[in-house]
Structure 1
Protein backbone atom coordinates (compact mmCIF):
# COMPACT_ATOMS: atom_id res chain seq x y z
CA UNK A 1 0.00 0.00 0.00
CA UNK A 2 2.77 2.34 0.80
CA UNK A 3 4.23 1.86 -2.63
CA UNK A 4 0.90 2.72 -4.35
CA UNK A 5 0.39 5.91 -2.40
CA UNK A 6 3.91 7.12 -3.11
CA UNK A 7 3.32 6.75 -6.86
CA UNK A 8 0.26 9.08 -6.81
CA UNK A 9 1.97 11.77 -4.74
CA UNK A 10 4.13 14.41 -6.45
CA UNK A 11 7.83 13.78 -6.11
CA UNK A 12 9.43 16.21 -3.66
CA UNK A 13 12.12 18.45 -5.01
CA UNK A 14 15.41 18.55 -3.28
CA UNK A 15 16.54 21.49 -1.17
CA UNK A 16 19.37 22.37 -3.56
CA UNK A 17 17.07 22.32 -6.57
CA UNK A 18 14.65 24.71 -4.86
CA UNK A 19 17.45 27.17 -4.14
CA UNK A 20 18.32 27.59 -7.82
CA UNK A 21 17.53 31.00 -9.36
CA UNK A 22 14.90 29.90 -11.90
CA UNK A 23 13.07 27.91 -9.22
CA UNK A 24 13.09 30.85 -6.82
CA UNK A 25 11.56 33.14 -9.49
CA UNK A 26 8.63 30.83 -10.12
CA UNK A 27 8.12 30.38 -6.37
CA UNK A 28 8.12 34.18 -5.88
CA UNK A 29 5.56 34.59 -8.70
CA UNK A 30 3.29 32.00 -7.10
CA UNK A 31 3.58 33.75 -3.72
CA UNK A 32 2.78 37.15 -5.33
CA UNK A 33 -0.29 35.65 -7.04
CA UNK A 34 -1.49 34.22 -3.74
CA UNK A 35 -0.95 37.56 -1.98
CA UNK A 36 -2.83 39.36 -4.76
CA UNK A 37 -5.75 36.92 -4.48
CA UNK A 38 -5.86 37.39 -0.70
CA UNK A 39 -5.73 41.18 -1.07
CA UNK A 40 -8.55 41.12 -3.67
CA UNK A 41 -10.60 38.86 -1.42
CA UNK A 42 -10.15 41.24 1.53
CA UNK A 43 -11.19 44.18 -0.66
CA UNK A 44 -14.29 42.31 -1.84
CA UNK A 45 -15.26 41.42 1.73
CA UNK A 46 -14.69 44.97 2.96
CA UNK A 47 -16.54 46.51 0.02
CA UNK A 48 -20.13 47.48 0.75
CA UNK A 49 -22.86 48.85 -1.44
CA UNK A 50 -25.86 51.03 -0.72
CA UNK A 51 -29.25 49.46 -1.21
CA UNK A 52 -30.72 52.35 -3.15
CA UNK A 53 -33.41 51.93 -5.77
CA UNK A 54 -32.07 52.13 -9.28
CA UNK A 55 -32.47 55.48 -10.94
CA UNK A 56 -35.03 55.42 -13.68
CA UNK A 57 -34.01 57.08 -16.88
CA UNK A 58 -36.48 59.80 -17.77
CA UNK A 59 -37.72 59.44 -21.31
CA UNK A 60 -36.95 62.39 -23.49
CA UNK A 61 -39.63 63.95 -25.62
CA UNK A 62 -37.02 64.47 -28.32
CA UNK A 63 -35.62 61.80 -30.58
CA UNK A 64 -31.91 62.04 -31.22
CA UNK A 65 -30.56 60.95 -34.59
CA UNK A 66 -26.83 60.72 -35.21
CA UNK A 67 -27.22 61.63 -38.87
CA UNK A 68 -29.20 64.12 -40.93
CA UNK A 69 -30.01 61.46 -43.55
CA UNK A 70 -33.50 60.81 -42.13
CA UNK A 71 -34.29 64.53 -41.94
CA UNK A 72 -33.37 65.07 -45.56
CA UNK A 73 -35.18 61.85 -46.60
CA UNK A 74 -32.04 60.48 -48.26
CA UNK A 75 -32.34 56.88 -47.10
CA UNK A 76 -35.19 55.92 -49.40
CA UNK A 77 -33.19 54.00 -52.03
CA UNK A 78 -30.10 52.60 -50.32
CA UNK A 79 -27.81 52.71 -53.31
CA UNK A 80 -28.05 55.73 -55.56
CA UNK A 81 -26.88 56.54 -59.05
CA UNK A 82 -26.82 59.75 -61.06
CA UNK A 83 -26.21 60.75 -64.69
CA UNK A 84 -26.49 57.22 -66.08
CA UNK A 85 -23.66 55.67 -64.05
CA UNK A 86 -25.79 52.68 -62.99
CA UNK A 87 -28.95 52.52 -65.13
CA UNK A 88 -30.59 49.65 -63.24
CA UNK A 89 -30.46 51.54 -59.97
CA UNK A 90 -31.75 54.69 -61.65
CA UNK A 91 -34.69 52.68 -63.03
CA UNK A 92 -35.45 51.36 -59.53
CA UNK A 93 -35.23 54.89 -58.13
CA UNK A 94 -37.71 56.15 -60.75
CA UNK A 95 -40.13 53.29 -60.01
CA UNK A 96 -40.04 53.93 -56.28
CA UNK A 97 -40.51 57.68 -56.81
CA UNK A 98 -43.47 57.03 -59.14
CA UNK A 99 -45.10 54.76 -56.55
CA UNK A 100 -44.68 57.39 -53.86
CA UNK A 101 -46.18 60.14 -56.01
CA UNK A 102 -49.08 57.85 -56.98
CA UNK A 103 -49.84 57.09 -53.32
CA UNK A 104 -49.73 60.79 -52.47
CA UNK A 105 -52.08 61.57 -55.37
CA UNK A 106 -54.54 58.88 -54.22
CA UNK A 107 -54.49 60.31 -50.68
CA UNK A 108 -55.25 63.80 -52.03
CA UNK A 109 -58.14 62.43 -54.12
CA UNK A 110 -59.59 60.65 -51.08
CA UNK A 111 -59.54 63.89 -49.12
CA UNK A 112 -61.17 65.89 -51.91
CA UNK A 113 -63.72 63.26 -53.00
CA UNK A 114 -67.41 63.88 -52.20
CA UNK A 115 -69.68 60.92 -51.44
CA UNK A 116 -72.99 60.37 -53.22
CA UNK A 117 -75.01 61.22 -50.11
CA UNK A 118 -73.16 64.51 -49.60
CA UNK A 119 -73.70 65.37 -53.26
CA UNK A 120 -77.45 64.65 -53.00
CA UNK A 121 -77.76 66.79 -49.87
CA UNK A 122 -75.97 69.68 -51.55
CA UNK A 123 -78.10 69.34 -54.66
CA UNK A 124 -81.33 69.46 -52.63
CA UNK A 125 -80.34 72.70 -50.94
CA UNK A 126 -79.09 74.25 -54.18
CA UNK A 127 -82.29 73.52 -56.13
CA UNK A 128 -84.39 75.61 -53.76
CA UNK A 129 -81.85 78.42 -53.52
CA UNK A 130 -81.27 78.75 -57.26
CA UNK A 131 -85.01 78.40 -57.93
CA UNK A 132 -85.75 81.36 -55.64
CA UNK A 133 -83.23 83.48 -57.50
CA UNK A 134 -85.13 83.32 -60.81
CA UNK A 135 -88.66 83.72 -59.42
CA UNK A 136 -90.21 87.13 -60.04
CA UNK A 137 -91.00 89.32 -57.08
CA UNK A 138 -94.76 89.10 -57.68
CA UNK A 139 -94.65 85.29 -57.77
CA UNK A 140 -92.47 85.19 -54.68
CA UNK A 141 -95.00 87.23 -52.71
CA UNK A 142 -97.89 85.02 -53.81
CA UNK A 143 -96.06 81.82 -52.86
CA UNK A 144 -95.20 83.25 -49.42
CA UNK A 145 -98.86 84.13 -48.77
CA UNK A 146 -100.11 80.71 -49.86
CA UNK A 147 -97.58 78.60 -47.96
CA UNK A 148 -96.85 80.69 -44.91
CA UNK A 149 -99.11 81.37 -41.96
CA UNK A 150 -100.28 84.90 -41.46
CA UNK A 151 -97.39 86.93 -40.23
CA UNK A 152 -97.95 89.07 -37.20
CA UNK A 153 -96.77 92.60 -37.70
CA UNK A 154 -94.18 93.62 -35.24
CA UNK A 155 -94.87 96.86 -33.52
CA UNK A 156 -92.03 99.25 -33.22
CA UNK A 157 -91.26 100.30 -29.73
CA UNK A 158 -92.27 103.84 -29.16
CA UNK A 159 -91.25 106.28 -26.55
CA UNK A 160 -93.51 106.17 -23.52
CA UNK A 161 -94.03 109.37 -21.67
CA UNK A 162 -93.27 109.06 -17.95
CA UNK A 163 -96.16 109.44 -15.63
CA UNK A 164 -96.54 112.50 -13.41
CA UNK A 165 -96.41 110.30 -10.30
CA UNK A 166 -92.72 109.53 -10.81
CA UNK A 167 -91.71 113.17 -10.44
Structure 2
Protein backbone atom coordinates (compact mmCIF):
# COMPACT_ATOMS: atom_id res chain seq x y z
CA UNK A 1 0.00 0.00 0.00
CA UNK A 2 2.76 2.47 0.88
CA UNK A 3 4.51 1.83 -2.46
CA UNK A 4 1.30 2.82 -4.26
CA UNK A 5 1.14 6.09 -2.33
CA UNK A 6 4.79 6.93 -3.01
CA UNK A 7 4.44 6.23 -6.73
CA UNK A 8 4.31 9.36 -8.84
CA UNK A 9 1.37 9.57 -11.23
CA UNK A 10 1.73 11.23 -14.60
CA UNK A 11 -0.76 13.91 -15.55
CA UNK A 12 -3.42 13.24 -18.14
CA UNK A 13 -2.00 15.80 -20.57
CA UNK A 14 1.41 14.10 -20.55
CA UNK A 15 -0.16 10.67 -21.10
CA UNK A 16 -2.11 12.06 -24.09
CA UNK A 17 1.11 12.92 -25.91
CA UNK A 18 1.94 10.82 -28.94
CA UNK A 19 5.15 9.24 -27.60
CA UNK A 20 3.46 8.24 -24.31
CA UNK A 21 0.86 5.87 -25.83
CA UNK A 22 2.41 2.69 -24.47
CA UNK A 23 2.81 4.17 -21.01
CA UNK A 24 -0.79 5.38 -21.07
CA UNK A 25 -2.01 1.89 -21.99
CA UNK A 26 0.09 0.37 -19.22
CA UNK A 27 -1.24 2.86 -16.64
CA UNK A 28 -4.85 2.28 -17.71
CA UNK A 29 -4.37 -1.47 -17.49
CA UNK A 30 -2.90 -1.19 -13.98
CA UNK A 31 -5.83 0.97 -12.88
CA UNK A 32 -8.35 -1.51 -14.29
CA UNK A 33 -6.59 -4.39 -12.55
CA UNK A 34 -6.57 -2.52 -9.27
CA UNK A 35 -10.30 -1.71 -9.58
CA UNK A 36 -11.20 -5.29 -10.43
CA UNK A 37 -9.11 -6.61 -7.52
CA UNK A 38 -10.82 -4.18 -5.15
CA UNK A 39 -14.27 -5.06 -6.48
CA UNK A 40 -13.82 -8.85 -6.27
CA UNK A 41 -11.37 -9.02 -3.36
CA UNK A 42 -13.80 -10.95 -1.17
CA UNK A 43 -14.54 -13.53 -3.94
CA UNK A 44 -11.06 -14.17 -5.35
CA UNK A 45 -8.89 -16.43 -3.21
CA UNK A 46 -5.10 -16.68 -3.09
CA UNK A 47 -5.30 -20.09 -4.73
CA UNK A 48 -7.09 -18.54 -7.70
CA UNK A 49 -4.44 -15.85 -8.07
CA UNK A 50 -1.51 -18.26 -7.92
CA UNK A 51 -3.01 -21.13 -9.96
CA UNK A 52 -1.26 -22.34 -13.10
CA UNK A 53 -2.85 -22.66 -16.49
CA UNK A 54 -3.12 -26.17 -17.93
CA UNK A 55 -3.58 -24.93 -21.48
CA UNK A 56 -0.91 -24.34 -24.11
CA UNK A 57 -1.63 -21.36 -26.29
CA UNK A 58 -0.10 -21.75 -29.74
CA UNK A 59 -0.25 -18.62 -31.92
CA UNK A 60 0.15 -20.60 -35.13
CA UNK A 61 -1.60 -23.69 -36.48
CA UNK A 62 1.60 -24.99 -38.14
CA UNK A 63 2.56 -27.45 -35.34
CA UNK A 64 -1.06 -28.61 -34.98
CA UNK A 65 -1.31 -29.54 -38.66
CA UNK A 66 2.29 -30.85 -38.75
CA UNK A 67 3.14 -28.54 -41.65
CA UNK A 68 6.63 -27.98 -43.00
CA UNK A 69 8.04 -24.53 -42.63
CA UNK A 70 11.15 -22.88 -43.98
CA UNK A 71 12.82 -23.11 -47.37
CA UNK A 72 12.06 -25.69 -50.03
CA UNK A 73 13.70 -26.80 -53.24
CA UNK A 74 12.17 -28.74 -56.09
CA UNK A 75 13.72 -30.68 -58.97
CA UNK A 76 17.31 -30.02 -57.98
CA UNK A 77 17.14 -26.22 -57.93
CA UNK A 78 18.93 -26.11 -54.58
CA UNK A 79 20.52 -29.49 -53.77
CA UNK A 80 21.79 -28.38 -50.35
CA UNK A 81 18.28 -27.65 -49.11
CA UNK A 82 16.96 -30.86 -50.64
CA UNK A 83 19.64 -32.83 -48.79
CA UNK A 84 18.81 -31.10 -45.49
CA UNK A 85 15.09 -31.83 -45.92
CA UNK A 86 15.89 -35.45 -46.78
CA UNK A 87 18.00 -35.84 -43.62
CA UNK A 88 15.24 -34.30 -41.49
CA UNK A 89 12.69 -36.69 -43.00
CA UNK A 90 14.97 -39.68 -42.32
CA UNK A 91 15.42 -38.60 -38.70
CA UNK A 92 11.66 -38.20 -38.30
CA UNK A 93 11.03 -41.64 -39.81
CA UNK A 94 13.65 -43.20 -37.52
CA UNK A 95 11.88 -41.87 -34.42
CA UNK A 96 8.51 -43.05 -35.74
CA UNK A 97 9.89 -46.53 -36.54
CA UNK A 98 11.25 -46.91 -33.00
CA UNK A 99 7.87 -46.06 -31.48
CA UNK A 100 5.89 -48.49 -33.62
CA UNK A 101 5.33 -51.91 -32.08
CA UNK A 102 4.73 -54.90 -34.33
CA UNK A 103 1.25 -56.40 -34.18
CA UNK A 104 2.20 -59.47 -36.22
CA UNK A 105 5.44 -61.34 -35.66
CA UNK A 106 7.73 -62.21 -38.54
CA UNK A 107 6.94 -65.94 -38.18
CA UNK A 108 3.20 -65.30 -38.45
CA UNK A 109 3.75 -63.12 -41.48
CA UNK A 110 5.85 -65.73 -43.30
CA UNK A 111 3.25 -68.42 -42.54
CA UNK A 112 0.49 -66.19 -43.94
CA UNK A 113 2.55 -65.22 -46.98
CA UNK A 114 3.24 -68.90 -47.70
CA UNK A 115 -0.52 -69.63 -47.72
CA UNK A 116 -1.21 -66.68 -50.01
CA UNK A 117 1.55 -67.78 -52.36
CA UNK A 118 0.07 -71.28 -52.59
CA UNK A 119 -3.38 -69.85 -53.32
CA UNK A 120 -2.06 -67.68 -56.14
CA UNK A 121 -0.08 -70.59 -57.59
CA UNK A 122 -3.24 -72.72 -57.62
CA UNK A 123 -5.09 -69.98 -59.48
CA UNK A 124 -2.69 -70.21 -62.42
CA UNK A 125 -2.57 -74.00 -62.57
CA UNK A 126 -4.67 -76.02 -65.00
CA UNK A 127 -8.04 -77.31 -63.81
CA UNK A 128 -6.94 -80.94 -63.85
CA UNK A 129 -3.90 -80.21 -61.72
CA UNK A 130 -5.98 -78.10 -59.29
CA UNK A 131 -8.27 -81.04 -58.52
CA UNK A 132 -5.41 -83.28 -57.52
CA UNK A 133 -3.81 -80.78 -55.09
CA UNK A 134 -5.34 -80.77 -51.63
CA UNK A 135 -4.79 -78.09 -49.06
CA UNK A 136 -3.82 -79.04 -45.52
CA UNK A 137 -6.51 -78.56 -42.91
CA UNK A 138 -6.11 -75.28 -41.03
CA UNK A 139 -5.17 -75.93 -37.44
CA UNK A 140 -6.17 -73.92 -34.42
CA UNK A 141 -3.27 -71.77 -33.30
CA UNK A 142 -2.93 -71.37 -29.56
CA UNK A 143 -2.62 -67.69 -28.55
CA UNK A 144 0.60 -66.59 -26.92
CA UNK A 145 0.58 -65.38 -23.33
CA UNK A 146 1.82 -61.90 -24.23
CA UNK A 147 -1.16 -61.36 -26.61
CA UNK A 148 -3.69 -61.56 -23.77
* Category of TM-score, reference length = shorter chain: 0.3 to 0.5
Instruction: Give the alignment's TM-score, normalised by structure 2.
Output: 0.32
Instruction: Give the alignment's TM-score, normalised by structure 1.
Output: 0.29
Greater Rg over alpha carbons, structure: 1
